[in-house]
Amino acid sequence: MEYRTLGNSDLKLSAITFGAWAAGGWMWGGTEQNDAVKAMQSAFDYAVTSIDTAPIYGMGHSEKIVGEAIKDLPRDQVQIVTKYGLRWDATDGEFYVNSQDNDGKDIAIYKNSSKASIIKECEDSLKRLGTDYIDLYQIHWPDKTTKIQETMEAVAQLIKDGKVRYAGVSNYNVDQLKEAKQYVDIVSNQVPYSMVNRGIESELIPYVLKNNTSILAYSPLQRGLLTGKMKAGHTFSEGDHRKGLAFFKDENIKQTAHFLDTLRPLAEDKNISLSQLVLRWTIEQPGITIALAGARNAEQSISNAKAIDVKLSAEELQFINKNLNELKLDL
């Protein structure tokens, strides 16, 4: 495994980090807890030491699963990455979305990054995770109802209190990142990035490269689209959020599958899966420090971990990019 340092901190995460959104079940059509725990533990056996989660993933369920998975592991060898700022149990702040919890109960989710909310969320997360500190604490989404100064000063206090090691953000643009850095050292920004979703390359990547800030890329496999296993006409299970996303329109699935077919001979020559090829490509891109890869079972998590062993030459990266630049999706 490769371990990469976030910003100017001494916090190192595994370049392939376990993404635990699907483990929480919410918006993924449910989850099987034993499989999720085994997936995380198997990842650790293959040197994936970092796990990214959030309270909203299953309304605390994902964090509890992470806590169960790591309870017998050496705490100083595991890096816990979680978030704050999305509340399903209170209506203060900025309305975000109506949804359903894992039991099918209607819930309303609000963005709330006020000081009082952050302090409460941190305590709740620590209990669910079964730990007394969080390695990287990130705002989940910008919150228009709370000043960035109040939010970041609250996290700075948590760092001072020893409950958080480092501050990160998620889904922040350059201006928001600049402002946040005035109040606390922001070591990373977690944002969506994949072969078919490269919008951050125009402004955010140049900024982070210049200012020594790390990028944690989420959805590098575009929520399964880039695995090479999805075909037009795919049927999603009840509660699976992907059903309504533009990436998963039949024509886009078809075009993506055609692109992946051009990479298949390269993957076969290296005796690797397309998913492993895509993950390795992702962490080879300028400014991308970490790729978050989710898994529902041990087999998937081990496969993701082994992506780190893939070697891509400059010529092979050029070949991939040439074919990628010819892919045009209707988004």
Q: Would you please indicate which residues are annotated as catalytic (active-site) residues?
A: 57
Phi, psi of 125 (to 5 degrees): -65, -40
| C-alpha to C-alpha distance for 59 and 61, rounded to whole angstroms | 6
Collect all residues with Cβ–Cβ distance below 8 Å to 106 and sequence separation of at least 6.
98, 99, 100
Where b means 16+ CB within 10 Å and e means fewer, 120-131 reads: bbbeebbebbeb
Residue 16: which residues within 8 A CB-CB, separation 6 or more? 1, 48, 279, 283, 290, 291, 293, 304, 305, 307, 308
Could you give the C-alpha distances from 55 to 38, 52, 139, 327, in angstroms and in order?
A: 20, 11, 11, 36
Angle between helices 314-325 and 250-270 (to 10 degrees): 160
Tokens of 85: 């700022």
Give 142's Cβ-side CA count (13 Å radius): 15
